[in-house]
Structure 1
């Protein structure tokens, strides 16, 4: 008797499965095909991305070799091409290297290139701020203090990682403009910042020493007697 009930249950189960298959079989097959196609597409996309990265890396190294060989126009053109066609990471690197090469042959062209990077809203904010700082450092030799302040004033007064280099650009521009007191104050703000990188600190210390005579005298403590 138990076997008969078991066979009946099996027949009912097969009948239900047959009905489900008749109703949804095509959809099940389509879903399976879609999963296989999606997996194959993802693998193909990863392979394509890998090939793009390999090609960009080779092109980037070739452009670097051109720059190191002093072939600046060729190097700049190669970096610009990578910036147009390469993956996002290489695009940013290539933009900065192209601007650096442009600055090596013509500072005005370099400043324009860095300004173009700073205006590119597709780039991260940090990259755009870095472009402003790089352009400001070039402007120290080619323009006045107002132009430098316009580019990096907000960065210098902030708390971001580029504040040190921005303050350095300001200190150099103030020194060149003959505002020794302002240069000393800016250089002191650099050297007193515990997070200032060693290279920036050493250059700021030099500016601070050069402008020490223009530094404001320290205020006397309340109630202290004047020096005789």
Structure 2
């Protein structure tokens, strides 16, 4: 009986050896690939988490410098954010914060530079849209109307569409194109929720250009009941 078992075991071992000889390399490669992929995925997640944590620490420096109105320290901190953590959300927010402080300090060229970086290099569409809106406002201050309009061209996230049309109306009105400004304001008005107070501002701008907007029928009906 023992010999019978020994023969069976030997046959099984031979089968295993044959199978492993035929498929062992492929199986090993697959295992290494799967394990390597998991390790890479885990490592990437760890790296992202570490980047975000370190970026948050540096953003505190940006925030502190902004609150103190320390422009030189603020710009140094923002430069560090760009070079070390440019792919993080904190870097884009740092650019927007830096630009706001620089506008308040009447440093429009510095604000323009910060906003251009966010508009071009931020990884987040919302930050890019905000940067373009603010950059258009800075360019308006500099009376660079054609450049301001360029910032307001192209596609934007739907939630920013009304703001972009409104800002376009502002630029066109300042550049003396009242007809185009009215069209832009009407577009902005149409894109806004009828309950939005922002609509009243658009209506005031239209009135200043000699145009009017019909209040939505549903809104008029509701107010008369």
Q: Which residue of 2 aligns with 1:226?
A: none
**2:152 alignment partner, SS class:** helix
Q: Which residue of 2 aligns with 1:9?
A: 8
Q: Which residue of 1 aligns with 2:54?
A: 55
User: Does 1:111 pair with 2:120?
Assistant: no
CA RMSD of aligned residues (A): 4.0
**Partners of 2:112 and 2:135 within 8 A in 1:** yes
Deviations 1:128-158 (A, max 9, x none): 4543322112222221543332332445xx8
Change (3 A) 1:190 1:82: same
Deviations 1:65-123 (A, max 9, x none): 22122223212321221121114333333333333333332123222332344444x74
Distance in 2 of aligned mates of 1:216 and 1:198: 17
Match of 1:215 among 197, 200, 211: 211
TM-score w.r.t. the length of structure 1 is 0.68
Q: Which moved more, 1:76-85 or 1:188-197?
A: 188-197
Matches within 5 A, 1:169-180: 169-180=167-178
Structure 2 portions without partners, runs of 5+: 215-225
**2:191 alignment partner, SS class:** coil
In terms of Rg, which structure is larger?
1
Distance in 1 of aligned mates of 2:195 and 2:64: 29
Change (3 A) 1:83 1:116: closer
Structure 1 portions without partners, runs of 5+: 219-228
Change (3 A) 1:119 1:24: closer
**Partners of 1:80 and 1:98 within 8 A in 2:** no
TM-score w.r.t. the length of structure 2 is 0.69
Q: Which residue of 2 aligns with 1:93?
A: 93
Q: Which moved more, 1:142-151 or 1:27-36?
A: 27-36
Change (3 A) 1:171 1:38: closer
Tell me the CA shift for residue 185 of structure 1.
3.4
